Amino acid sequence: MAVAPHSLAAESAIDVLREGGNALEAMISAAATIAVVYPHMNSIGGDGFWVINGPGGQVGGIDASGASGLKATKNWFLDRGIVDKIPFRGGVAALTVAGTISGWGAAHQLSRRHLGGRLPLSRLLADAIFLAQQGSPVTASQAASTKAKLTELRDIPGFAETFLVNGQPPEAGTLFKQPRLAATLQRIAKEGTDTFYRGKLSKLMAQELSKVGSPLTAMDLNRHQAQLVDPLTTMIRTRSARAGRQAQLFNMVPPSQGVLSLMILGIMDRLKGWNHGPESAEFIHAQVEATKAAFRIRDAHLTDRAFMKRSPGSLLEPAFLDQLAAEISMQRAAPWGSKSKPGDTIWMGVIDAQGIAVSFIQSIYHEFGSGIVLPESGVNWQNR
């Protein structure tokens, strides 16, 4: 089974499964395809997060997110007249290494070493290369996002040449080709994922990034590695008729915000609204208030886990969740905290015949990320 926000990505995964590939191989193929056919929400210039339910129920993760560039210091931004806050768009916003390709590589290695994977990277990227070369239909979502963000993006280097037609947003259903991205994917298929960070491709992209004003350098790309991690976990009650039954939930470690979903469910589990139907006022109130509580903790503590002052796991300790739940009134709404800007990303899931399951996010943060599209490699870079 494969689930994706675009049918072509799901079909890529299903075709791999039909050829005897495993869930990790199928997800690599889906990840490549979704980067081509749903470009406003993700890109090979973004980050990736994997949660994998492996053989025997062993759960692991791949953190394929990139660090900020070594040059991206306070003084670097001040020297460029950026005093208040870092812009969301443009070269200065392209300040973190794009990690998702390293995640593809790590998943491919895990597949071969532990799951008997046999499909080469060239096969797994074949659909994406074809669709980038020959084109895919512009989705209604891409057309709408392009129109909505046109004013802030049309003058960003590379955006108009890549995503606009005669200076205007494309119509849904029209053919969208990305020949430069196709060539880059072909290079990755031939040379391996490491070329994105330590090969000829990385040298090219470092030069391109410098020209558009990004603080990222070849050294930043060279230093990057995907990390194998243990996902965060918590227990909640289920609505099963069997009394006392619990479910164990898993999600990614920071810098992803996976801990928030676990906190929200953990808090809801302690509130009476959980006992009502999902359309009831009690359930919705519990959900909203649990979300507010989790987001307050996010604003205070969540960052790159290397710099967190408390461990991510401590945010899921039963006593801490008890405390947060006790502070919630089921009769009164708490004030909203800091305002969140609208955003979106992509999630995909694959389960193979052996029961191996993959939950996957590939993200460029805001729609179209920084808006920067590198002129030769055709990579749209994130603004995380």
- The CA distance from 137 to 378, in Å, is 18
Indicate which residue of 146, 174, 233, 345 is catalytic. 345
- Cis bond upstream, residue 215 (ω within 30): no
Q: Kindly list the distances between the CA atom of residue 211 and the CA atoms of 12, 17, 59, in Å, as whole numbers in the listed order.
A: 35, 42, 42
- Sign of the Cα pseudo-torsion (257, 259, 261, 264, in order): negative
Residue type, 32: A
Q: For this structure, is 151 an active site residue?
A: no
Residue type, 92: V
> Cβ-count burial of 105 within 10 angstroms (0-12 exposed, 13-18 middle, 19+ buried)?
buried
Q: Give the pairing type, strands 246-251 and 136-137.
A: unpaired
- The CA distance from 187 to 122, in Å, is 10
Give the tokens for residue 248: 């164990």
Write out the DSSP string of 27-89: HHHHHHHHHHHSTTT--TBSEEEEEEE-GGG-EEEEEE-PPBPTT--HHHHHTTT--S---SS
Name the helix (H) or strand (E) containing 180.
helix 179-191
3-state secondary structure of 226: coil
* Residue 68 burial (CB count, 10 A): 15
Q: Which residues contact 75 (CB under 8 A, 6 or more apart)?
A: none
Q: Which residues contact 305 (CB under 8 A, 6 or more apart)?
A: 253, 254, 255, 312
Q: State the catalytic residues.
A: 345
